[in-house]
Amino acid sequence: MLLPDAREEIVATCQELSRSGLVVGTAGNVSVREGDLVAVSPSGLRYAELTPELVGVHRLDGAAVEAPLQPTSELPLHLAIYAARPEASAVVHTHSVAATALSTLVDEVPAVHYYVAMFGGPVRVAPYATYGSEELARNVVKALHDRTACLMGSHGAVTVGPDLVTAHDKSVYLEWLCEVYLRACSAGSPRLLSPEQIAAVIVKLAGYGQRPPGP
Ligand SMILES: [Zn+2]
């Protein structure tokens, strides 16, 4: 089996997204790139039934290499992101509630909290286009410019990372940020941080995070 670790990680992440409520039903999709290959969750399968063998492996041009099921309908989106972002090795797409609600209201999630620095700055909302379309893929790639997350108008959210753990963590933080912004807006007009304040956090975050001591 090709990319066994990536496929196993995709199953675990999809099931975690489902458990944590960032996706409902069969919504959302997840991929990991390794070299010239992309492992991606299949279309329309309940996550409880997903196994590593059912996670498809495709080439970067979309051709199936080892895929027993149809890939997610958003495969063009995943492939367009990998083509535009050589540093990205994982993509997580959710329909999480706060992000999706906000995607119907604004063109950008502004700097209401310093966490926007985690995504490179205020998070843009890609203009709506039909799901699975090349147009949506183009809109998302544009909205992701210099960022590691964007919302998709009247649809959901996308995060990218150098690995799946990072991309998944970002989807959780993004949902939190969107929830905070929605709640703040419901009570008044939130104060915004300046670009300089966000830039200072971006510098600080570059050295943030620890891993357990290795063997
Ligand atoms: Zn979607």
Is beta strand 149-152 parallel, antiparallel or unpaired with respect to 123-126? parallel
Task: Compute the distance from residue 201 Cα to the ligand 1 centre, in Å.
Answer: 31
For residue 116, give Cα distances in angstroms to 16, 69, 100.
Answer: 23, 37, 17
Task: Compute the distance from residue 197 Cα to the ligand 1 centre, in Å.
Answer: 33
Task: Give the 3-state secondary structure of residue 153.
Answer: coil
Residue 8 appears among annotated catalytic residues: no
Token pair of 28 as six digits:
């959302």
What's the confidence (pLDDT) of residue 215?
66
Q: What is the pLDDT of residues 113-161, one digit of tens each?
A: 999 999 999 999 999 999 999 999 999 999 999 999 999 999 999 999 9
Task: Compute the distance from residue 209 Cα to the ligand 1 centre, in Å.
Answer: 30
Catalytic one of 34, 74, 135, 196? 74
